[in-house]
Amino acid sequence: MVDPDPADGGDPSESDPVVAAIFDAVAATAPEIRAALPGRRVESGTDNPSGESVLAGDLYADELLADALTAVDGVGSFVSEERETAVDAGGAVGEGAYAVAIDPLDGSSNLRSNNAMGTVVGVYDAPLPATGRDLVAAGYVLYGPITTMIVADEEGVREEVVERESNGSGSRSVVEDDLTLPDDPLVYGFGGRVPDWPADFTAFAREIEDELKLRYGGAMVGDVNQVLTYGGLFAYPALVDAPEGKLRLSFEANPIAYIVERAGGAATDGDTDILDVEPEGVHDRVPLYVGNEGLVKRLEDALADG
Ligand code: AFP
């Protein structure tokens, strides 16, 4: 991945005009979401369908993205980590219209500590709950020192810089048009508390700690972006008291697995490719191990040998 230089940015290149319109809409909202964050670091007093407390920033991002995405021709429904049910946008999903699944503000607990966070996007050609094989595109916005967006589709994976226009809307330009995982892994980031890791994962983690550099920031989008940039492995593992882990399949694991696999990597729930995991519900959780193929294979062998 070359250093992003907006001055050399190129035009977005999705061949599917609806996918292009979806990521145009996501980029358009990014500056307004980013500008709203300083004033929305407080608890909203509500919980999401996963039972997690919701910050005002989560709700604001969810509302903006719902308005922007349900207005896109070709979007049939808007499904959010923050909502129990889908928002009907008109159009038959899977019969010419897409379902857009959103984690509006992934890593929102980083808002108080002013660390990276972002928005995760999955574009499904089937009503949810669906498997990752029904994804036609996926991406994420990363609110870091600069605002970037990763977009993956059948053409591959691109990194874009999102810039604020004079009218307040966001525009996107490609700064890396063929993003692939580096061959030699450099970093790792494993979530959850070490005492809650099962013994087989703990033993695997000890091996990796001797080989790679720790990069864990508490927001999946930021930690996965480290892996996409430098090569390595991100995991939010199965835990002793939470064998399904923490991350949601529809809104987090599937889109990230789609992106990383298109970039030449792999993603598993411990023994099955994430994209093949059959969900029962839209808010199902799943363990996620994602990154360089060789590391993912080593992880699966370590858990199989348990
Ligand atoms: P929040 O959105 O509540 O901050 O959770 C972020 C997240 O879902 C994911 O982005 C991180 O990888 C993971 O949770 C971090 O979880 P821990 O706080 O348990 O490390």
Are 113 and 230 within one domain? no
Are 146 and 213 within one domain? no
Report the pLDDT value the prediction gives residue 276, as an integer from 0 to 100.
Answer: 98
The last residue of a domain, from among 141, 176, 211: 176
Read off the CATH number of the domain in which 211 is found: 3.40.190.80
pLDDT bucket at 159, cuts 50 / 70 / 90: very high
Distance from residue 191's CA to the centre of ligand 1 (Å): 8
Reported as a single tens digit per residue, the pLDDT across 229-260 is 999 999 999 999 999 999 999 999 999 999 99
* Candidate of 53, 54, 106, 117 to mutate for ligand 1, largest count of ligand atoms within 8 Å of Cβ: 106
pLDDT bucket at 12, cuts 50 / 70 / 90: confident
Report the pLDDT value the prediction gives residue 4, as an integer from 0 to 100.
Answer: 47
**CB of 107 shorter than 6 A to ligand 1:** yes
Q: Tell me what the mean pLDDT of segment 207-216 comes to.
A: 98
CA-proximal residue: ligand 1, atom 2 (nearest): 107
Reported as a single tens digit per residue, the pLDDT across 218-228 is 999 999 999 99
201 belongs to a structural domain: yes
Distance from residue 52's CA to the centre of ligand 1 (Å): 10
Q: Is the pLDDT of residue 188 over 80?
A: yes
Are 203 and 110 within one domain? no
43 belongs to a structural domain: yes
Strand order in the sheet with 98-106: 87-88, 75-80, 98-106, 117-124, 135-143, 147-153, 156-164, 170-176
Are 83 and 129 within one domain? yes
Report the pLDDT value the prediction gives residue 8, as an integer from 0 to 100.
Answer: 56
What letter represents residue 135's amino acid?
L
Are 158 and 231 within one domain? no
pTM (two decimals): 0.95
**CB of 81 shorter than 6 A to ligand 1:** no
269 belongs to a structural domain: yes
Are 145 and 192 within one domain? no
Q: Is the pLDDT of residue 6 over 70?
A: no
Are 163 and 281 within one domain? no
**CB of 191 shorter than 6 A to ligand 1:** yes
The last residue of a domain, from among 118, 152, 176: 176
Reported as a single tens digit per residue, the pLDDT across 62-121 is 999 999 999 999 999 999 999 999 999 998 998 989 999 999 999 989 999 999 999 999
Report the pLDDT value the prediction gives residue 113, as an integer from 0 to 100.
Answer: 94
Are 157 and 52 within one domain? yes
* Candidate of 47, 109, 110, 288 to mutate for ligand 1, largest count of ligand atoms within 8 Å of Cβ: 109
pLDDT > 70 fraction of the chain, expressed in percent and rounded: 97
Say how many domains are in the chain: 2
pLDDT bucket at 2, cuts 50 / 70 / 90: very low
**CB of 236 shorter than 6 A to ligand 1:** yes
Q: Tell me what the mean pLDDT of segment 52-60 comes to.
A: 81
pLDDT bucket at 54, cuts 50 / 70 / 90: confident
**Which tokens belong to 223?**
């930690």
**CB of 192 shorter than 6 A to ligand 1:** yes
Backbone torsions φ then ψ of 215, nearest 5 degrees: -140, 95
Q: Tell me what the mean pLDDT of segment 116-133 comes to.
A: 97
Are 168 and 218 within one domain? no
Report the pLDDT value the prediction gives residue 41, as an integer from 0 to 100.
Answer: 74
**CB of 220 shorter than 6 A to ligand 1:** yes
Q: Is the pLDDT of residue 59 over 70?
A: yes
Q: Is the pLDDT of residue 140 over 50?
A: yes
Are 71 and 213 within one domain? no
Read off the CATH number of the domain in which 61 is found: 3.30.540.10
Structural domain including 213 reads: 187-305
Q: Shortest CA distance to 157 belongs to which of 175, 131, 172?
A: 175
259 belongs to a structural domain: yes
Are 277 and 257 within one domain? yes
Distance from residue 113's CA to the centre of ligand 1 (Å): 13
Are the C-beta atoms of 221 and 120 separated by less than 8 Å? yes
Average pLDDT for the chain: 94
93 belongs to a structural domain: yes
Are 83 and 34 within one domain? yes
182 belongs to a structural domain: no
Are the C-beta atoms of 153 and 14 separated by less than 8 Å? yes
